[in-house]
Amino acid sequence: MVKSHELRAFDGDDLHKRNNISEIALPNQHNEYDKDASELAKAGKKQVLKRRFGLVSMTGLSCGLMCTWESLLVVFLLGFQNGGPAGLVYGFIIIWLGNLSVFIAIGELSSMIPTAGGQYHWVSLLAPPSNKKFFSYITGWLTVIGWIAGLTAAAFFVASLIQALIIQNNPTYTSTGWQGTLLLWAVLLICVAINTFLSGVLPAIEVVVLILHVLSFFAILIPLVYLAPSHNSAKEVFTTWINSGWPTQALSFFIGIQGNALAFVGSDAAVHMSEEVKNATTDVARSMILSILINGCLSFGMLIAVLFSAGDISEAAENSLTQYPFIEIFAVAVGSNTGAIVMTSIIVILEFCSALGSLAAASRMTWSFARDNGLPFSRYLSMIDRRTTIPVVSILVVTTFAALLALINIGNTTAFNDIVSLVLEGFYLSYLIAIGLLLWRRVRGDIAESAPESQLTSESFDPRMTWGPWRIKGALGIANNVIACAYLVVLSFFSFWPSVLPVTAANMNYAVLVTGFVVIFSIMYYLIWARRIYHGPIVEVELHTL
């Protein structure tokens, strides 16, 4: 059974001093809800959210949020200008395999500790005792800011695509920043309405999103390939490289690879929804891997179809009325401007689904960090609405900050894009810290196999430091962690580079400044205030043997 007690920090030494470890029981294997609640209680957290999601609905949320094949079209120009067709193809394969490696490791961590906090909770467990509070705190801030930026980016894509559709239909229309911001706000308001008033049916909505995500792929792929007036040769697709002016083709390739990377952002949404997922110790990891495999296959198919069917892509980019040349590619391929608008409208709907899922994941991450006193006004941010059992206050606050970020778009679109680019750095760095510590603990042999109940009586045994049911064993697991860390280091490094030369104040990538500001602010806030109230994940419940 689960027993509530006074809230306190989950510190390993304090756990042994103040609690009898024999009181922590293994999960009940006969009742799915009890099993999930017990696994959560083993991490010190009380079950307060309803477990509405299953494997299929959570896979739908992850696939819809990632929106990979759709986003690949939206950011197509970045990879094409720095790498060309060949760079897009080979870069996609690297990103796909790299993300698979990363989320196999993230799946292992989520199987160990299936909480909405994700990265900062894992870092608190795995980091050395002397600095676990600090590293956990910084990781939590990076993840929260990354998700808010991710929500803003998803809503911005929807708003800017709507403006692009208007331009495609009426070339005399001139889009402005304030109009884009108003559209972005409208997208956020609809997302809030669905996440609050329709929260009970959100899993069913995500199943529909998954079906729509797959069917829409064929609805665009088939006319694109079948109606295209001409097709490029395999040699043109797989051997044509483009360099926008960088000293070497390799440097240009690694800068352009960021476009493919952006299309895979958001794979860890299932982690932050894990306290609402049934059988979370296995199905959170499964949903992440399934979403990467499904989206990877669909995206690679769409990329190859576009590269073979687009004709002269450089000409299409020059003739495009908007910043999204894929709309012009659609128009040329199907021979109809109306057809291109309809095809693009499908992508707009799916990008909206991405914003919908982003708000759900961002609000859960914010709520989780707040319940551990990691954010200002944590008392209010950690509130759960009793009627809907969702963090309504966090949903509203996250949406408000995304709306405030959108104000930057009115004055300077370049600065806004750099703010939004924080989504990459926030996620990459939080993954890197967590997986790097997992590798360190793994090599040291600090993580035990799932222990029998008799081992729980040992005062030297921390029940959290055990493998979950989903993991890769032995040397293969270590090798995968090494690959994941190396991949994240490379991606993090090149995500700070500008995309074009010559570099000016207008096209400079200010992401390094934005990331640095967030890190410095979080450190200052920690030193001035948070270190006195933040002690890592708080224990809310403990388990007792029956």
CATH number at residue 464: 1.20.1740.10
Q: What is the pLDDT of residues 346-356, one digit of tens each?
A: 999 999 999 99
pLDDT surpassing 80 at residue 414: no
**CB count, 10 Å around CB of 546?**
6
Q: Which of 6, 8, 123 minimizes the C-alpha distance to 535? A: 8
Q: What is the pLDDT of residues 445-504, one digit of tens each?
A: 989 886 555 454 444 446 678 899 999 999 999 999 999 999 999 998 988 888 777 877
Cβ-based burial of 247 (10 A; exposed 0-12, middle 13-18, buried ≥19):
exposed
Q: What is the pLDDT of residues 220-242, one digit of tens each?
A: 999 999 999 888 999 999 999 99
Which residues is 53 bridged to in the sheet? 277
pLDDT at residue 510 in the model: 74
pLDDT at residue 540 in the model: 78
Q: Which of 464, 264, 276 minimizes the C-alpha distance to 367? A: 276
Q: What is the pLDDT of residues 73-92, one digit of tens each?
A: 998 888 898 999 999 999 99
Residue count of the chain? 546
Q: How far apart are CA 172 and CA 499, in angstroms?
A: 29
3-state secondary structure at position 448 = strand
Is residue 301 very low, low, confident or very high in pLDDT (cuts 50, 70, 90)?
very high
Q: Which helix (H) or strand (E) is 359 found in, with range?
A: helix 337-371
Helix ranges (H only) for 310-336 are 313-319, 325-334
Which residues is 448 bridged to in the sheet? 466
Q: What is the pLDDT of residues 243-274, one digit of tens each?
A: 988 999 999 999 999 888 988 988 899 999 99
Using an 8 Å Cβ cutoff, are 421 and 514 in contact?
yes
User: In terms of DSSP bridges, do strands 2-9 and 538-543 run parallel, antiparallel, or are they unpaired?
Assistant: antiparallel
pTM of the model: 0.89
**CB count, 10 Å around CB of 139?**
30
Structure letter (DSSP) for residue 374: -
DSSP 450-499: PPPGGGGG-TT--TTSB--SS---HHHHHHHHHHHHHHHHHHHHHTTS-S
What range does the domain containing 64 cover? 2-44+51-543
Count: domains in the chain? 1
Place of tokens 């049916």: 201
Which residues is 538 bridged to in the sheet? 9
Is residue 415 very low, low, confident or very high in pLDDT (cuts 50, 70, 90)?
low
DSSP 19-75: S-GGGPPPPPSS-HHHHHHHHHHHTT----S---B-HHHHHHHHHHHH-HHHHHHHT
Structure-token pair, residue 503: 């570099």
Place of tokens 């910084």: 138
42 versus 224: the higher-pLDDT residue is: 224
Handedness of CA 485, 489, 495, 496 (dihedral sign): positive
The residue type of 389 is T
pLDDT surpassing 90 at residue 372: yes
Region label for 467, one of left (φ > 0), alpha (ψ between -120 and 50) or beta (otherwise): beta
Region label for 378, one of left (φ > 0), alpha (ψ between -120 and 50) or beta (otherwise): alpha
Is residue 419 very low, low, confident or very high in pLDDT (cuts 50, 70, 90)?
low
Structure-token pair, residue 313: 């892509």
Is residue 16 very low, low, confident or very high in pLDDT (cuts 50, 70, 90)?
very low
Q: How far apart are CA 511 and CA 154, in angstroms?
A: 18
The residue type of 526 is Y
Using an 8 Å Cβ cutoff, are 73 and 310 in contact?
no
Q: How far apart are CA 220 and CA 72, in angstroms?
A: 14
Which residues is 4 bridged to in the sheet? 541
Using an 8 Å Cβ cutoff, are 225 and 305 in contact?
yes
Using an 8 Å Cβ cutoff, are 54 and 278 in contact?
yes
3-state secondary structure at position 446 = coil
Backbone phi, psi, residue 288, to 5°: -65, -45
The residue type of 95 is I
Using an 8 Å Cβ cutoff, are 244 and 82 in contact?
yes
Q: How far apart are CA 459 and CA 20, in angstroms?
A: 8
Q: Which helix (H) or strand (E) is 4 found in, with range?
A: strand 2-9
Question: How far is residue 229 CA from its own chain's centroid?
Answer: 38
Place of tokens 């929106």: 67
Q: Which of 11, 28, 1 minimizes the C-alpha distance to 453? A: 28
pLDDT surpassing 60 at residue 302: yes
Handedness of CA 205, 211, 213, 215 (dihedral sign): negative
Residues 6+ apart with CB under 8 A from 313: 80, 85, 307, 325, 329
Using an 8 Å Cβ cutoff, are 326 and 306 in contact?
yes
Backbone phi, psi, residue 387, to 5°: -75, -45
Place of tokens 């292992």: 108
